[in-house]
Structure 1
Amino acid sequence: MSKQRATNKQRASDRLQKLVVRRRDPVLEDAIEQDRIAIHFQPQIEPATGRIVAVEALARWDGEPSASELFQRARRGGLKERLSRFAQRKALRMAGAWPAPLSDLRISINLLAEDLGRDGYDQWLLEEIALAGLAPDRVTVEITEDSLLADGRLIAERLGRLREAGIQIAVDDFGTGYANLAYLTSLPLDTLKIDRGLITDLAEEKRGRIVVRAMIDMARQLDLKVVVEGVETPEQLALIADWGCDLYQGFLGSGALAEQDLAELIQAAAA
């Protein structure tokens, strides 16, 4: 194949890819418009006491089996940012209306790289928190390591404004991305969330134990909290508790719950 033919073929492929990415998804558009995207909440639990102190808000829809696949579909339909803001707003307003004992819980919401890159997003989020009737110090925003590959200075400024208002900042899926670890000292962070992929074989894998323990030790020295995701066995829980993990998420404690199920779990624990 000639170089010119190869170039033309690549251009055609690129155009086709753009058409695929931008194809409308009226079913998902309608689900967002008609408020058919649900928000479930996965507890974050103290290893030593079993006390639920926070929850992570996760979008759920019958049309896709998981939040990650839902957002992939939203990206293909050009709806990713719209879905993100819808889910954030809905989660905040649900949490703002919670009675005791749910009203003591912190809530974590997930931010996209596109959110942080949008002018005025930080002010929008602060206004949504106020409209929800939430104190900013009850809110944690979670960003992935991939989000940090963009303009580091800009991201630091916007996260800094959120943190100055009392919001806590967490890096999600820590240990799976390719961001320069210098961001641990250059960004205003409060928490590292260690990815579930590093926990799966923790009880059997010596190297895995060394890596996770080193991450927790490093976070401690940086005065950061640690949340471990994907905890599914008592053996995993015993190890991370011994190493000083602050909170854990995972099926050993609870999966993501609808609001009523969360309330019943909290009430049962209190009783």
Structure 2
Amino acid sequence: MEVIGQRASDRLEAPRPPKRDMALEAAIAACAIRLNFQPQIDLASNRLVGVEALARWQAEPSSEFMFARAAAAGLGERLSRHVQASAIATAACWTGPLGCVRLSLNCVAADLARPNYGHWLIAECGRLTFDPSRITLEITESTLVIDRALAAAKLAWLREWGVMIAIDDFGTGYANLPYLTALPLDSLKLDRELIAGLDNERNRIVVRAMIGMASDLGLETCAEGVETEEQRAMLADWGCTTMQGYLMSPALDDTALKMLVGTFAPAT
């Protein structure tokens, strides 16, 4: 029943379809989204133990903005699937010191919202002969827009295949703490802003407490954005597990990564 006198602008409107992003569609189709890999180093042994796959596109240098742009255009799932499949295909060809490092993949909301995402990921590993137990899925607070119990069930299923689950950008979101008990986790990634603030005593107390809490929960910790030896020394002293950042190396393409790998003790 229509209310007499109601303005047209006040009436409920049907959701508008996503605005098409032809440039991004073309970039995905043409495989113009390139991959870089940032080394992750074990703080206790200086071993290269993993890499994080990061998507890069000339038209949108920031991976975060690129995925936001994809989501707005209804391309989030397609872009994420392309990036993850490309990263697994690249890592499947690594031999020598790179042949056993972990591969961290960023998981977006469209992934967990997809009913068959876990089965697709495991099937992709099988197709490319890549051991799924070498994968770490990094999820952020914005990823968990679906029902928390449903997300936990999907992630638990992947863990049965050996996939590790990490909370990314930990310490920045308002709802991080409930995830520690609600989700099947293996690791916390400490946000780079926390690491950048280690010159402040109060920030040091917070980061040290986070590392201690993670350890008590049986979780590993990875510090993002490590840029100085002082930061590295503090994190090692507090028991942080791994680190990544410009102190060790920026994100590199496949060729540069292979050249750099010899400067670190190999993973075992």
Structure 2 residue aligned with 1:63: 59
1:198 counterpart = 2:198: no
Matched-pair contact (CA < 8 Å) for 1:146–1:177: no
Following the alignment from structure 1 to structure 2, what is the Cα–Cα distance between the partners of residues 231 and 10? 51
Q: How far apart are the structure 1 equivalents of 2:202 and 2:47?
A: 30
CA contact (8 A) 2:112 2:146 kept: no
Cα contact 1:148–1:179 (8 A) shared by 2: no
Contact 1:149 1:179 in 2 (8 A): no
Task: State how far apart, in whole Å, the 2-side matches of 1:196 and 1:9 are.
Answer: 43
Deviations 1:49-107 (A, max 9, x none): 33211000011111111111211221232211110000000000110111212112110
Distance in 1, matches of 2:177 and 2:143, equals 13
1:218-270 superposed Cα distances (whole Å, 9 cap, x missing partner): 00000000001011111111111110011001111111100000000003435
Which of 223, 229, 239 aligns to 1:244? It is: 239
Given residue 66 of structure 2, which amino acid in structure 1 is its aligned partner? L
In structure 2, distance between residues paired with 1:268 and 1:226:
23
* 2:9 is the alignment partner of 1:8: yes
Per the TM alignment, residue 40 of structure 1 is displaced from its structure 2 partner at its CA by 0.7
Relative to total residues, which structure has the larger helix share, 1 or 2?
1
Higher relative contact order (CA 8 A, sep 6+): 2
Contact 1:169–1:191 (Cα < 8 Å) also in 2: yes
Specify the alignment match of 1:88 in structure 2.
84
> For residues 11 and 239 of structure 2, what CA distance do their matches in structure 1 show?
51
Instruction: Give 2:75's aligned amino acid.
Output: L
Q: 2:94 aligns with which of 98, 115, 124?
A: 98
Going from structure 1 to structure 2, the CA distance change for 1:177 and 1:65 (only over 3 Å counts) comes to: same
Shift of 1:4: 5.5
- Residue in 1 that maps onto 2:131: 135
- Is 2:265 aligned against 1:264? no
Distance 1:199 1:4, change over 3 A: farther
Which consecutive unaligned segments of at least 5 residues does structure 2 have? none
Quick check: 2:225–2:245 contact (8 Å CA) kept in 1? Answer: yes
The equivalent of 1:234 in structure 2 is 229
| Cα distance in structure 2, aligned partners of 1:134 and 1:54 | 15
Dislocated runs of 4+, deviation >3 Å: 9-12, 268-271
Report % sequence identity: 50
CA deviation digits over 1:128-171, x for unaligned, max 9?
11112111211111111232353011011100110011111111
Q: What does residue 218 of structure 2 align with?
A: 223
The DSSP-based 3-state class of the residue aligned with 1:199 is helix
TM-score (norm 2): 0.91
2:38 corresponds to which of 42, 48, 52: 42
- SS of 1:265's equivalent? helix
* Partner Cα separation in structure 2 for residue 51 and residue 260 of structure 1: 19
Alpha carbons 1:146, 1:179 under 8 Å: kept: no
Which stretches in structure 1 are left out of the alignment for 5+ residues?
none
Residue 30 of structure 1: aligned partner: 26
Q: Is the 8 A contact 1:97 1:132 kept in 2?
A: no
User: 1:10, 1:113 → 2: CA distance?
Assistant: 30
Query: Which one-letter code corresponds to 1:155 in the other structure?
Result: A
Secondary structure of 1:253's aligned partner? coil
Classify the secondary structure of the residue corresponding to 2:239: coil
Structure 1 residue 211, shift from structure 2 partner: 0.8
